[in-house]
């Protein structure tokens, strides 16, 4: 699938969208909200590529936050690995 096909599928403007549906957070949504002309094919491609890069960067930041949280929990562990048997999590 090429970038133009992806961009048209995700376009905010229903006249540029391949399904004729307005996506409230789709590609080039700023132009659509300001009632400007539909974006050119080049503008749609650029927006789709930028959106993918932004989404990947956001996801990477979320994962880094999750890793930091797990490391903090691991640092607080009163029974680190190699310190002997752990107590049962639930009493029997």
Domain membership of residue 87 (yes or no) is no
**Residue 85 confidence class, pLDDT cut points 50, 70, 90:** confident
Q: Kindly report each contact of residues 1-9 with a partner whose C-beta sits within 8 Å and lies 24 or more positions away, as own/partner.
A: 3/45, 3/48, 3/49, 4/41, 4/44, 4/45, 6/48, 7/41, 7/44, 7/45, 7/47, 7/48, 8/44
**Residue 68 confidence class, pLDDT cut points 50, 70, 90:** very high
Domain membership of residue 92 (yes or no) is no
Range of the domain at 42: 3-66
Domain membership of residue 56 (yes or no) is yes
Residues 2-50: pLDDT tens digits? 888 888 888 888 888 888 887 777 778 888 888 888 888 998 888 888 8
Domain membership of residue 82 (yes or no) is no
The count of structural domains within the chain is 1
Residue 90 scores a pLDDT above 80: no
Domain membership of residue 10 (yes or no) is yes
Domain membership of residue 49 (yes or no) is yes
């Amino acid at each position: 699938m090429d970038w133009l096909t992806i961009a048209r599928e995700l376009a905010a403007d229903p006249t540029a969208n391949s399904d004729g549906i307005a996506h409230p957070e789709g590609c080039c949504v700023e132009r659509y909200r300001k009632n400007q002309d539909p974006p050119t094919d080049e503008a749609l491609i650029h927006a789709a590529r930028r959106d993918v890069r932004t989404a990947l960067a956001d996801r990477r930041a979320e994962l880094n936050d999750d890793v930091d949280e797990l490391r903090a929990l691991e640092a607080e562990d009163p029974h680190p690995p190699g310190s002997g048997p752990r107590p049962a999590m639930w009493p029997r």
